[in-house]
C-alpha cells in the first residue's frame, strides 16, 4: 500500500493503481521516470510524496514462511553477482582467453569452446556452492527455530519490517542480533540483514541497522560486529557509512579453494558504541 501525503487527505493506492496513475502524468510534472512500480517510488506526481508504510517489529511465528522465502531468495541473488565480479576481473579474462587459444591449438574449434566452458562452469559452481550451501545450512539449523535461537534471551532479538502491499501484509526486510561475551567484553553480533527488492534504496537497510545498534546500546554492549561478503557491495557501503570498519577476514563453510576460485572474501566488520 502506498500513501500520498499532501495538503489533501491521505490517498491510498495499490501498486497497480499507482502504475496506472503515474503513466497518465505528463513528463514535465515528474522529476524522474519510474523504472517500475516495484522500485522506489519517490519524487513523483508533482508535489506529492510517496511513502511505503513500513513497521519494524519483533518476529512472530506466523512470519516464518515469508521470512524463510525472503532469506533464501535474497542470499542466492549474490550468486550471479559474485560470478560476474570474478569473470570480469583482468586475471580471469586472461585465463579464459588463454584457455580458448590453447583449446583451439590443441583441438581446433571444439577445444576453443570446451576448454573455457569448463573453466567458466567451474567458477560458477564455486559461486553457487558458497551461497546456496550457506542458505541450505542456515535453513536446517537456526532458521528452523527462530524464536528459540533469537528470542529466548533478553540479549537477543529478531525483527522484521512489514508493509501492506496490495492489501496484504508482506515482510520487506529483517535483521537479528545475538548478544555475546568475550572475557569481560559484551557485544552484539548482527545477523540476517535482508531487504526485499521492493524496498531497496528507500533507507530500510539503515533503519534496520540502527534498530540493532540502538538495541545493543540499551543492553550495554561495547560494540556491534557482523560478517558479510565482498560481493555485497551495497551492504558493505552501508555498513561503512554507519561507522563499521573492516577488521579481518573469516572462513566460509566450504573448501578454501572454492572461496579463492570464486574470488569471494568473507569480511568481518565492527562498530564501537
Cell of 28: 514535465
Rg (CA), the chain: 22
Q: pLDDT grade, residue 112 (50/70/90)?
A: confident
With a cut of 60, say whether residue 264 has pLDDT above it. Answer: yes
> Residue 254: its pLDDT value, please?
80
Q: Categorize the per-residue pLDDT at 198 as very low, low, confident or very high, splitting at 50, 70 and 90.
A: confident
Q: Which helix (H) or strand (E) holds 77?
A: none
Mean pLDDT, rounded, of the chain? 81
- In the predicted structure, residue 189 carries a pLDDT above the cut 90: yes
| pLDDT confidence band for 52 (50 / 70 / 90) | low
Whole-angstrom distance, CA of residue 49 vs CA of residue 41: 9
Cα angle: 251, vertex 227, 267; to 5 degrees: 60
Question: What mean pLDDT do residues 229-242 have?
Answer: 91
Residue 121 confidence (pLDDT): 96
Give the mean model confidence (pLDDT) for residues 149-153.
93
Distances (CA, A) of 254 to 82, 156, 251: 15, 27, 8
Percent of the chain with pLDDT over 70: 81
pLDDT at 13: 41
| Burial readout 145-158 (b: 16 or more C-beta within 10 A, e: otherwise) | ebeebbbeeebbbb
List, edge to edge, every strand of the sheet that includes 11-13: 11-13, 2-5, 49-52
Identify any residues that bridge with 169 across adjacent strands, giving them in sequence order: 164
- Residue 156: φ, ψ to 5°: -115, 155
Amino acid at each position: 500500500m502506498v500513501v500520498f501525503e499532501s495538503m489533501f487527505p491521505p490517498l491510498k493506492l495499490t501498486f497497480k493503481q499507482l502504475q496506472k496513475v503515474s503513466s497518465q502524468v505528463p513528463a514535465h510534472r515528474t522529476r524522474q521516470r519510474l523504472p517500475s512500480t516495484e522500485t522506489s517510488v519517490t519524487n513523483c506526481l508533482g508535489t506529492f510524496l510517496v511513502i511505503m508504510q513500513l513497521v519494524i517489529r519483533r518476529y512472530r511465528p506466523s512470519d516464518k514462511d515469508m521470512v524463510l522465502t525472503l532469506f533464501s531468495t535474497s542470499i542466492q541473488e549474490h550468486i550471479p553477482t559474485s560470478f560476474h565480479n570474478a569473470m570480469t576481473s583482468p586475471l580471469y579474462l586472461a585465463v579464459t582467453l588463454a584457455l580458448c587459444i590453447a583449446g583451439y591449438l590443441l583441438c581446433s574449434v571444439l577445444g576453443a569452446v570446451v576448454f573455457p566452458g569448463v573453466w567458466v562452469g567451474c567458477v560458477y559452481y564455486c559461486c553457487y556452492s558458497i551461497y546456496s550451501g550457506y542458505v541450505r545450512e542456515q535453513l536446517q539449523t537456526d532458521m528452523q527455530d527462530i524464536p528459540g535461537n533469537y528470542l529466548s534471551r533478553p540479549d537477543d532479538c529478531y525483527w522484521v519490517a512489514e508493509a501492506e502491499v496490495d492489501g496484504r501484509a508482506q515482510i520487506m526486510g529483517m535483521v537479528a542480533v545475538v548478544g555475546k561475551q568475550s572475557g569481560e567484553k559484551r557485544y552484539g553480533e548482527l545477523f540476517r540483514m535482508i531487504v526485499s527488492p521492493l524496498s531497496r534504496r528507500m533507507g530500510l537497510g539503515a533503519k534496520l541497522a540502527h534498530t540493532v545498534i540502538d538495541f545493543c546500546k540499551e543492553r550495554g554492549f561495547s560494540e556491534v560486529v557482523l560478517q558479510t561478503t565482498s560481493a555485497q557491495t551495497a551492504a558493505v557501503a552501508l555498513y561503512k557509512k554507519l561507522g563499521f570498519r573492516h577488521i579481518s577476514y573469516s572462513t566460509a563453510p566450504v573448501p578454501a579453494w572454492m572461496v579463492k576460485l570464486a574470488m569471494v572474501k568473507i569480511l568481518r566488520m565492527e562498530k564501537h558504541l
